Amino acid sequence: MTTSPVSTPAAPSAPATPTARSLEPLGVEIPSTVPTHWYNLNADLPEPVPPHLHPGTLEPLVPADLAPLFPMALIEQEVSTERYIEIPQTIREIYAMWRPAPLIRAHRLERELGTPARIYYKYEGVSPVGSHKPNTAIAQAYYNAIEGTTRLTTETGAGQWGASLSMAAALLGLTCEVWQVRASYDSKPYRRFQMEAYGGVCHSSPSELTASGRAILASDPDTTGSLGMAISEAVEVAAQDPQAHYSLGSVLNHVMLHQTVIGQEALVQLEEAGETGADVVFGCAGGGSNLAGLTFPFLGRNLREGTTTRLVACEPAACPSLTQGEYRYDHGDVAGLTPLLKMHTLGKDFVPPAIHAGGLRYHGMSPMVSHAVNLGLMDAVAIDQDEAFRAGLEFARSEGIIPAPESTHAVAAAIAYARTVTEPEVVVIGLSGNGQLDLPAYAQYV
């Protein structure tokens, strides 16, 4: 593709050390359709995203504030306003293991719905772990390894992110330790097995391994957990280990940046399919990474070229940060260890019900996505879980792919919309992953 320019838990049992060998490009051929640059929406927004604030001073963060948690390359990306940031060759080679991800015309779904809309879905389930998450996991692991970090800590909800970072760590010579939200840890053991197959270590969160986890359990021993709790634990451990850094799979600007390979590919693939663009794009939204990755390149074109693609964030009604939350500064975690972010939030202490779409169980939304919604550049809808799973089954029985529970929210919104369409138009769905390891979630709906 052509683009423009406390008590520290035990370390994983099989520690690895980043080596020059694991970071060097292999020299393998990369398809020209794999993006060469990430797209940064910050370059085109009519107003800048409000800065992150230091939790102690309430002043805008400076790079030194983030250095205990992130490598400098990611910190620079977090605040960059450059439109395009070059993707290192080593990362592109790994991307090429599954990218470009296909854009597929949903002919059978169109027939089932009786709609004149031409429906396409951008399928990220072709990645090794079955979701879009490796797009940023590979980048984060690479930049950490380059800087000499040997250990990554993180949180995960449904488990796609934990599995993705575990895979990235294995490929690039690091160890990975994951705190998984208790509700998903208990209900989705295969995700933990997937992490362990890649060499990662996975703990149920909240845990007795950290001060923040012990405090939460003392207050509510029966809590089902939340991403905010798991973040607190992972951040606490990383901050205490000079060889460790924290990684996260959504919310922050650099994560949104890495995911834009999705939308860049989709724009080119639509053109190759004979379309001039998309009329409406639907993406599921939890922390914002899949949504941003798909929609930001479309939004950038809207802002630069005057196109009018409508962008729709599809969040769960059980955790409706965009549709019912407040747009204000809030912590990204329960313990208040993270910076204050200007975002749509239900409050850092909000504990969502243990819905099946574990990857969408987050109290806040990406500051960049929140800013776009606040400026009226993106719409948001809330989808009930029953409606989402019914749509997932309808999609599976017409297109053959069982969507991840998270993806069903975008599918449901798109199906509802397509049923109202009376004239031909182009609809794009972000199918962020497959549901092969989430089948128990479908049990009550089949």
Classify residue 303 by burial, with Cβ atoms within 10 Å: 0-12, 13-18, 19+: middle
Question: What is the spatial distance between Cα 81 and Cα 377, in angstroms, rounded to a whole number?
Answer: 19
Choices 3.40.50.300, 1.25.60.10, 3.10.20.340, 3.40.50.1100: CATH for 92-130+253-445: 3.40.50.1100
Query: What is the enclosing helix (H) or strand (E) of 409?
Result: helix 407-418
Strand extents, DSSP E, 233-373: 244-246, 280-284, 310-316, 326-331, 340-345
What is the C-alpha to C-alpha distance for residues 63 and 180, in angstroms, rounded to an integer?
A: 28
Within 10 A of 221 (CB to CB), how many other CB atoms are there?
Answer: 8
Q: Hey, what amino acid is at 406?
A: E
Give yes or no for a contact between 204 and 183, defined as CB atoms under 8 angstroms apart. no
DSSP 3-state of 133: coil
**pTM of the predicted model as reported, rounded to 2 decimal places:** 0.93
Length of the chain: 446
Q: How far apart are the first and last CA of the chain?
A: 41
Pairing mode, strands 201-205 and 175-181? parallel
- Short-list 380, 376, 335, 337, CA closest to 360: 380
Residue at 236: amino acid letter: E
pLDDT of the chain along its 446 residues, tens only?
Answer: 434 443 344 444 444 455 666 788 899 999 999 999 999 999 999 999 999 999 999 999 999 999 999 999 999 999 999 999 999 999 999 999 999 999 999 999 999 999 999 999 999 999 999 999 999 999 999 999 999 999 999 999 889 999 999 999 999 999 999 999 998 899 888 999 999 999 999 999 999 999 999 999 999 999 989 888 998 999 999 999 999 999 999 999 999 999 999 999 999 999 999 999 999 999 999 999 999 999 999 999 999 999 999 999 999 999 999 999 999 999 988 777 788 999 999 998 887 776 666 567 688 999 999 999 999 999 999 999 999 999 999 999 999 999 999 999 999 999 999 999 999 999 999 999 999 998 988 988 98
Do residues 409 and 315 touch, judged by C-beta distance below 8 A?
yes
Contact status, residue 53 vs residue 60, Cβ threshold 8 Å: yes
Question: What one-letter code names the amino acid at 38?
Answer: W
